[in-house]
Amino acid sequence: MTLVLVGINHRSASLATRERLAFPPDSLGDALRRLCGTPPVREAVLLSTCNRTEVLALLDGSGPPAAAAIQAFLAAERHFDADELGRIVYTFEGSEVVRHLFRLGVGLDSMILGEPQILGQLKAAAQTAAAAGCLGNGLGSLMQRSFAVSKRLRTETAIGRNPVSVSFAAVELAEKIFGDLSSCGVLILGAGKTAELTARHLHGQGVRKIFVANRTFDRAERLARAFDGEAIPFERFLETLEQVEILISSTSSTVPVLRHEDAQRVIRRRRNRSLFLIDLAVPRDIEPSVNQIDNIYLYDLDDLQQVADAGLAERRTAAAAAERQITDEVAAYEVWCREREVGPTIVALREKVFGMRDAEVERFRSRLQAAPPEARRAVEEITESLLNKLLHGPIQHLKRSATGGGADHVAMVRQIFGLDTSDGEAPGRKGAGLPAKEEPPE
């Protein structure tokens, strides 16, 4: 059995290419069933987001043919040229897959370092695979372990605690000023992309109400609908500014749209309630001197970029610590996998050998009937002692292989003693859901 991951992401492929290789959400289950119904695939998980498409699979066999089977599946499913796909995919096998999944869940492989959405996407991919009948004990235990590692490292490191983009920085600053944003209203002035993204983050934090003002009222209405907000005429923005706590300004005006004297009138009418102004325009929409007014907090692009740069530096420091912990987590997971295989092998070995002893004793039972009870007990004790001494070496070797890296040794012992039977199903068989047992220790 071989663990393989084949995929493309934002570093290996352009956006246009990623779009062509993306799977619509409602097609994932059927695609997985087709993949798992094709040898040598035993289990599979398919992750498809705006930044990556990856297939994680447990296969019979190893080496290039195993990865080639996954590449062929991707090319056929997305009607993509196989040679072109071969130039942009990356392939991981064995422990490299484990490391990649652990890094992925923590956000170390994301476009935005440490972003949290990928963990939810991984969990959704696992659930889809389980519903399709393509997730068993093999991949199920690995996915569960990746979730646990991600949760622990996000708690123990600062990988996700600091803003790394202008829009995230604006939201974090707003939370520092107001605390709970659920009581805050937001006014979006203009319809710039960065302003929209910032508003989307604020909306995600549960702000009370979003108003949109734009010189083209139709555009204001479209943007307002995206946030269940309200469009207002541009001429009324000062009036609306008296009702909200946060202004996001991103117009194309060549002169300031909010002047010092206007801001003074607004803050007086607000009875000095705090006002947070985010100026994302170039040239600036808000006169810099507005920041000198008491209870007004003004941040422009340079201010927010400094916050984002500082956050990125802190996340990079946290990422280095997370990488070191992931190395330990990968090693611990590999030991657990070997121990999980060694234990049943030792039990099977003893059962097989002592079963042969019992069969031979039964075969000679008629001859032993005439012997006194002491002699019969002596035969059992002698054979048991002999077999324990015979098995001592192989069993100790198996136990050492669990911590020293010896999957091949386990396979050799099973082959020598004939422990793999044709009527049994190999470990990692498919199941209907995430495994309830045999999960790796926390």
Query: Would you name the residues annotated as active-site residues?
Result: 50
54 neighbors 61 (Cβ within 8 angstroms): no
Burial (CB < 10 A; 0-12, 13-18, 19+), residue 176, is exposed
Instruction: Give the Cα separation of 284 and 48 in Å (integer).
Output: 39
Instruction: Give the Cα separation of 125 and 105 in Å (integer).
Output: 12
190 neighbors 164 (Cβ within 8 angstroms): no
Instruction: Give the Cα separation of 135 and 142 in Å (integer).
Output: 10
The helix (run of H) or strand (run of E) holding residue 181 is none
**What spatial distance separates the first Cα and last Cα of the chain, rounded to whole Å?**
25
Burial 108-138 (b: 16+ CB within 10 A, else e): bbbebbbbeebbebbbebbebbbebbbbbbb
Cα–Cα distances in angstroms (integers) from residue 356 to residues 383, 384, 402, in the given order: 11, 11, 27
Neighbours of 220 (CB within 10 A): 24
* Closest by Cα among 278, 257, 307 to 197: 278
* Closest by Cα among 281, 247, 252 to 267: 247
